[in-house]
Structure 1
C-alpha cells in the first residue's frame, strides 16, 4: 500500500434519526361526506337508497333459498310417480332422511348470506371515527 492511500480521510458515518414509530400519527383527513348513518337517520334519498339496497340483497337471498327449497320439495313427488319405486322404501326414506339435511343446509346457507349482507351494510354505514 502506498502512503497516498493511507492518508485518505475516512468518511464520517451519519446517523439519520426521526420520530419514533409509535409516535407517528397520520393527520386526520376531514370527511367530505357525512357518514351514511346520518343519511339514513335523516331519511335522505341517499339513505333510502342504502336501505333499499340492503332490502334487495336480503330479498335475493330469500328468493334463492326459496327456489332451492321448492326444487327439493317439488321433485319429491316424482319419486312416488316413477314405476317400480312406488312400493319400495326409497320414497319414504327420501322423505324421512334425505330431505331434512338438505333443508338444513339450505337454511344454513341462507342465514350465512343474510348475516354477510348485514355485516357488509354495517361496514358501509359505520363511521370511520368509531373504528378505533
Structure 2
C-alpha cells in the first residue's frame, strides 16, 4: 500500500499524482458511448421505395404523379375558389345597386370591399395552401418511409 497523509482513523487519501492518474482512467472509460438514432428494422422496404423514386420506375412515377395531382387539386380548389369569389364581387355590386350606395367612413362600400378585402383574403388562402401543401408532402414522405 502506498503512503498516504491523513490523520489516523480517517480513510486513506490518494496522493495528488495517483488521483490524477485515477481521474484520467475514469474519464477515458466514460468517453465512448453508443447512441442509436434509428431502428434498423424495416429499412429494406424504405430503401427499395427510395430506389424506385430515384430510378423513376413505374411505381416511383405513380407516387410522384399522385403527389402532384394532390397539390394541383388543392391549388385549383383554393385558388379557383378565391378567384371566383373576387370576380363575383363586382357583379354583385352591379346587380344589387342598393349596396353601391352604402357608405362607411365616407367611402362607398364597393370601393372599400374591392380595395381592402382581397389582401387579407389572399394572405389567408396562401397560408392555408402552404399548410396543406406541407401536409401533402409530409404524407408522401411518411408513405415512402413506411
- TM-score, with length taken from structure 2: 0.60
Q: Comparing 48-57 with 27-36, which one deviates more in the overlay? A: 27-36
Q: Which runs of 5+ in 2 are unaligned?
A: 1-38, 103-107
Q: In the aligned structure 2, how far is the partner of 1:96 from the partner of 1:67? A: 20
1:28-107 counterparts in 2 under 5 A?
Answer: 28=41, 31=44, 34-81=47-94, 82-88=96-102, 89-107=108-126
List gaps (5 residues or longer) in structure 1: 1-25
Equivalent residue number for residue 108 of structure 1: 127
What is the Cα deviation at residue 125 of structure 1? 2.2
In the alignment of these two chains, the number of paired residues is 102
Contact 1:79/1:86 (<8 A) preserved: no
What is the CA–CA distance in structure 1 between the aligned matches of 2:88 and 2:44, rounded to whole Å?
54
Q: d(CA) in 2 for partners of 1:85 and 1:34?
A: 62
Where relative contact order (Cα < 8 A, 6+ residues apart) is larger, the structure is 1
Q: How far, CA to CA, are the matches of 1:32 and 1:95 in structure 2?
A: 53
- Segment of structure 1 superposing worse, 26-35 or 113-122: 26-35
Q: Which has the larger radius of gyration?
A: 2
Q: Structure 1's 101 and 31: CA in aligned 2 closer, same or farther, altered over 3 A?
A: same
Q: What is the RMSD of the two structures over their aligned residues, measured on CA atoms?
A: 2.4
Q: CA-to-partner distance for each residue in 1:20-74, whole Å, 9 max, x for gaps?
A: xxxxxx9946746753111011111111111111111111111111222122212
Given that 2:74 and 2:129 are in contact with CA atoms closer than 8 Å, whether structure 1 keeps it comes out as yes
**Does structure 2 conserve the Cα–Cα contact (< 8 Å) formed by 1:79 and 1:91?**
no
